[in-house]
Amino acid sequence: MTLRIQEKSEFRYVDEGTGEVLLLLHGLFGALSNWEDVITEFRTRYRVVIPLLPIYDMPLLKAGVPGLVSFVEEFLAEIGLQEPCTVLGNSLGGHIALVYALQNPTRVARLVLTGSSGLFEDGMGGSFPKRGNYAYVEEKVAYTFYDPTVATRELVDEVFSVTNSNAKCLRIISIARSAQRHNLSKELSRIKAPTLLVWGLNDTITPPVVGHEFHRLLPNSELRFLDHCGHAPMMERPAEFNRLLMGFLQTTGRQAS
């Protein structure tokens, strides 16, 4: 699938379909393409919006979770999207979604979190990528998935090119440390929006116990696990992820009606 990327001001994004809005947020080493199967499945019934987060080129002093939440708020204002929407986030994107929901409760109809940071994460297996070491990067990208073949050469090459840039690495480290510092355990009870938690049973970055802890702390949440699945269920088990997402949207839509 070739994504049609739009540009407005400094923002680059995907905006497909019409109807109720699904706002999708990718992770630290993520990209718009991480959500391809969600776009394909849902753009015929929903408006799917995905901003490209400026992880590698945002001002260094703003490179952190608060800066990325501000970016999302500015992006939505720029494209004129102010109505309540369903916010989906993977990994760091889930963390951004949670802080966005805390700061903008009336603009979040539902949350969907998968492998979210915000409570605990073992990023890249406990260490940051080593510059110039392709084999190391290949191993750590594979660590994201239960099935290492999901870590395609194209994906590894993309991460390797990022880790070979000092400027990009500085921003990655700054954002990762911000996420580790920004623990949300004392704030999650304030989020009342219906929340779907989809977790890989084989996630080694945010292990299943993290999903259980989110479920305990989020008062209106449901937790679903996918077996033989790591940190990015929408990529590794797309059919099952989409089935759970569709069921959640339909059930919570009926409840709202």
* 37 is a domain residue: yes
In a domain, 46, yes or no: yes
Residue 171 lies in a domain: no
Position 124 scores a pLDDT of 39
* 219 within domain boundaries: yes
pLDDT in the model for residue 139: 79
Query: Is residue 67, in this structure, part of any structural domain at all?
Result: yes
Number of domains in the chain: 1
The pLDDT score that the predictor gives to residue 243 is 98
CATH code of the domain covering residue 247: 3.40.50.1820
* Predicted pLDDT at 143: 81
Domain enclosing residue 245, as ranges = 5-121+183-256
Establish if 153 belongs to a structural domain: no
**Residue at 191 is within a domain:** yes
Per-residue pLDDT for the chain (257 aa), expressed as one digit of tens each?
A: 678 899 999 999 999 999 999 999 998 877 788 899 999 999 999 999 999 999 988 998 899 999 999 999 999 999 999 899 999 999 999 999 999 999 999 999 999 999 999 998 654 344 455 566 788 778 777 788 999 888 788 888 887 887 777 888 888 889 988 888 889 999 999 999 999 999 999 999 999 999 999 999 999 999 999 999 999 999 999 999 999 999 999 999 755 44
In a domain, 177, yes or no: no
pLDDT at 165: 79
Q: How much is the pLDDT for 130?
A: 58
Question: Alpha carbon 196 to chain centroid distance?
Answer: 13
Are 213 and 148 within 8 A, CB to CB? no
Whole-model pTM: value is 0.91
Torsion 237-48-206-125 (CA) sign: positive
